[in-house]
Structure 1
């Protein structure tokens, strides 16, 4: 009698475990389906981003060349929303470029030992920020600042700068 009760209890636990496994399999299938849909959407977003970047480059090229006819034809081929988005991106990029240049000039106009001390204080935890600042500077200023830094920290920055430049190629 005791064995029968124990067997029945195990049977119920097994049935419950199988039911939970079935539920989990359904959730897993739904999760995988959502994941696949998300990956598809992510790819569409990446494709659209790439297309917009190419259009933006084409627009910037036409603008730089002053090609009014090409510029007009270009805008005839895209819809108004895309044109507006490209214009916003260009204006935002120009503002960011100006802001970055102004920020970099602060360090370029500073005494190199003072700039080196400040950038060293930023430290290794934010070394990428220091790298970006130095990469944006004129070579002469960046090298003078690096020369005024502690050799160990300067070598770490130099290594990160080289990595950043190699990634861009």
Structure 2
């Protein structure tokens, strides 16, 4: 059985070993702390450019990476780990693909807008052409209206003056198809008037009573011819012949002459 002194000695030895181990561990901690402090100081202050050289390497080491200062350019590859570089590459690749798609869409949109612009420019050009055409048509219409106004004035004057020659000249200025028919009628009327004048001249040179007797002999069935003949004479000759007629026949002739003059 060990004595009390041996027991005390054994306890002291055990405590001595524990103390020694503690001191060793403490020294290690102190050394590690000192080393860490030196490491932190060197890397944090970038002494000798060591931080720039080994930034990405130290960044992958736990605890030691705490000594690294904030990177001046986080996207600079020398301040990034391989994983960060890979992740950033994937991110940039996806963004680049997205931008490429957007660029393609923008190109298609630009083509579409260019088509719209071309159509718009075409419509504007057509509208300007139509506007110019309308202006020219408006000027032509205005000119035609002026011509029609002048022609109407001439026609009104011809009607007022019973001027058949003016009628003929007027018809020569209007639509050829319509003018041909109208002009033919005027020419026929002119020829008829010439014949009537020649016929009337024969009766105008006769004795008024003889001419009146012949007209009365023709009777009312030839009243149109009689009145046309009298109308073609001068007023002196026609009035002398009518004075030589019987009152009843002279009244019928007068009535028909009145109708003729109103018709003119």
What range is the shorter-chain TM-score in? 0.3 to 0.5
Computing the radius of gyration from Cα coordinates, the structure with the larger value is 2
TM-score, normalised by the number of residues in structure 2: 0.32
TM-score, normalised by the number of residues in structure 1: 0.47
Which structure carries more helix by proportion?
Answer: 1
- Tell me which of the two structures has the higher relative contact order, counting C-alpha pairs closer than 8 angstroms and 6 or more residues apart: 1
